[in-house]
Amino acid sequence: MKIVHLIAPALLALALWQAAVVVLDMPSFILPAPAAVAARLWLSRALIAEHAWVTLVEVLAGLALGAGLGWVSAVALAFSAGARRLVQPLLVFSQAVPVFALAPILTLWFGYGLLSKIAMALLIIYFPVTSAFLDALLRTPPDWLAQARVMGATRWRLMWRVRIPAALPGFLTGLKLAVVYAPIGAVIGEWVGASRGLGYLMLLANGRARIDLMFAALLTLAVMTMLLHALANLAIARILARREA
């Protein structure tokens, strides 16, 4: 049933896409037909796979670093109300700055290689992970904390034995958002300056008027993001099931 729920929207989107091409009589250099994109995807599969691998590495590295840094930051901020008052406005301010404005700066600092794209992915997912986990840490049931204190638990034991386990669903919620946002950060970094990756391939194809290749790269990116989201949901469901067992 879950497979049907995934396939049905995809088929509907393809049908609407084909209908738009036929009804609006769209030229191929503006909106190629799904069959043309599928043919290009097959003919250029090696090229697309090469660039997709680069983007996937950037996304996974950004996810790992962003999730780890978000975890550490949330725990540190949960320990100190003073640190929260000082740092939280900075976190909000970091989200007020347009992402596109930061990409050239990161490229200038870290170069045109993988590092600047990883930094971009990290930056775009750091706030949702930190914010979701910190909010969950601060909402630990007071009765649990009171009972642990009665039993002589120190602040560290309260954190590791009570607050973090109780806040795990909040961290996982932030992680689910991060899985969707990370490819956006990586591709934005590739648009600003790169020689590899799906974002770079899309710009290259657009510049050479190979619109079918551009759509094929875009479709590959969308499928990659959906697969990462599905895998994350599966892993999170198993983690929560074991936690409740």
Whether 226 is in a domain gets the answer: yes
- The owner of tokens 């770079």 is 200
**Is the per-residue pLDDT at 208 higher than 80?**
yes
Write the CATH number for 240: 1.10.3720
Residue 97, sorted as left (phi over 0), alpha (psi -120 to 50) or beta, turns out to be beta
Number of domains composing the chain? 1
Mean pLDDT of 25-51: 87
Whether 204 is in a domain gets the answer: yes
Whether 149 is in a domain gets the answer: no
Whether 240 is in a domain gets the answer: yes
Q: Which two tokens stand for residue 85?
A: 């008052």
Whether 179 is in a domain gets the answer: yes
Q: Where does residue 65 rank: exposed (0-12), middle (13-18), buried (19+ CB within 10 A)?
A: middle
**Cα R_g (the chain), whole angstroms:** 22
Whether 203 is in a domain gets the answer: yes
Cα separation, 143 vs 162, in Å, equals 11
Model confidence over 53-77: pLDDT tens digits?
Answer: 999 999 999 999 999 999 998 888 8
Which pLDDT value is given to residue 245?
61
CA distances from 227 to 33, 40, 56, 66, 179 (A): 24, 21, 11, 19, 10
Smallest Cα–Cα separation from 32: which of 211, 163, 225? Answer: 211
Residue range(s) defining the domain that contains residue 46? 33-137+173-244
Mean pLDDT of 40-50: 92
Cα separation, 198 vs 53, in Å, equals 9
Smallest Cα–Cα separation from 197: which of 68, 9, 57? Answer: 57
- The owner of tokens 């320990």 is 79
Lowest mean pLDDT among 6-20, 64-78, 108-122, 189-203: 6-20
Give the 3-state secondary structure of residue 156: helix
